[in-house]
Amino acid sequence: MDVKDFYYDLPQELIAQDPLADRSGSRLLVLDRATGGMQHRHFADIVDYLNPADCLVINNTKVIPARLFGEKEGTQAKIEILLLKRRENDVWETLVKPGKKAKPGTRIFFGDGLLIGEITDVVEDGNRLIQFTYEGIFEEILDRLGQMPLPPYITHQLKDKSRYQTVYAKYDGSAAAPTAGLHFTPELLGQIRAKGICIAEVTLHVGLGTFRPVKVENVKEHHMHSEYYELDKQAAEIINATKRRGGRVICVGTTSCRTVESAAAKIGRESIALANEKSLCQEVSETWVKPCRGWTDIFIYPGYQFQVLDALITNFHLPESTLVMLVSALAGREKVLHAYEEAVKEKYRFFSFGDAMLVV
């Protein structure tokens, strides 16, 4: 399986640079994965495709203003850092530009010394560990000094930080937004609940790796980045009850998908262990996910057998990206690329602030 198999041609002008005034006003391409048939709708029409027996899985992670601009102690050289993930207390794994100026022992001053970072180590992929010192509350200082870490393909300045957050964002930790969720409004979620559709909240803190290109020719050789996730008892109960009654688990975004499939993988391993000891117990056989937390590097590409997900709401993704591969695993590569060609032809808006796709 070659990475070039997931390429499509995208005109630059179709990359959305700004969010729409109305979150739910984006377009929606509905793809039937069985037939390859397509419908052109608006996102607010998503309610028409959801049934009372279904559940919607949303990722309630919150993007932190993770991009910081500072000066190197002594030389005042400009340095930019991007917070990737918290290792412990005030130690963060970061991406530093320019890397040549960021050797262990280097101190960086942000906001005239309101925040000071010292590089303590160089780790995988050239990322730096930085120990921060400050007075007060880190999150408040970050909100004052940091900028939203918009993807590299967005060149416009974001005027309203909240537009790179979902309306249901709760828990700080992401370096990028779970963009499929940006289309939802409180009113639309209210309509969904009023129709009797359950909503399960999970958490996956999106890492910078979501934008990193696949650098190997053979897809199977790609090393997937890891991200922290949580699926609590309430979400597990909603998802399991949905599957038991024959409803569909519809994930909002690839991050929600990776979360539920990671949780399912844990059940699978335990089921195998039980089967080796004695017959599989009924409780396990009727459970698709269980409460869990940890780090996942699950890589979903064609050939993968989905354990939980039945349908997916997602944006249009970069050519040759792991996200296009994930959607292709669900609907088939040829059908997905054909749908993308149709979206280009119909001038849909692409990527983070772009339009959406529903794969059913």
Mean pLDDT of the chain: 92
Structure tokens at 328: 């292709």
**What's the rounded Cα separation, in Å, for the pair 232 and 307?**
18
Do the beta carbons of residue 354 and residue 16 sit within 8 Å?
A: yes
Per the document, the length of the chain is 360
Mean pLDDT, to the nearest integer, of 288-300? Answer: 95
For the cut 90, the answer to whether the pLDDT of residue 296 exceeds it is yes
Mean pLDDT, to the nearest integer, of 157-179? Answer: 93
Mean pLDDT, to the nearest integer, of 94-116? Answer: 92
Please tell me the predicted confidence (pLDDT) of residue 211: 66
Q: What is the pLDDT of residues 229-284, one digit of tens each?
A: 999 999 999 999 999 999 999 999 999 999 999 999 877 654 444 444 433 334 44
At 223, is the pLDDT very low, low, confident or very high (cuts 50, 70, 90)?
Answer: confident
Burial bucket for residue 345 (CB in 10 Å: 0-12, 13-18, 19+): exposed
**What's the rounded Cα separation, in Å, for the pair 355 and 314?**
9
Strands 311-315 and 38-42: unpaired
**What's the rounded Cα separation, in Å, for the pair 328 and 335?**
8
Q: Which residues pair with 311 in a beta bridge?
A: 250
Structure tokens at 167: 């309306």
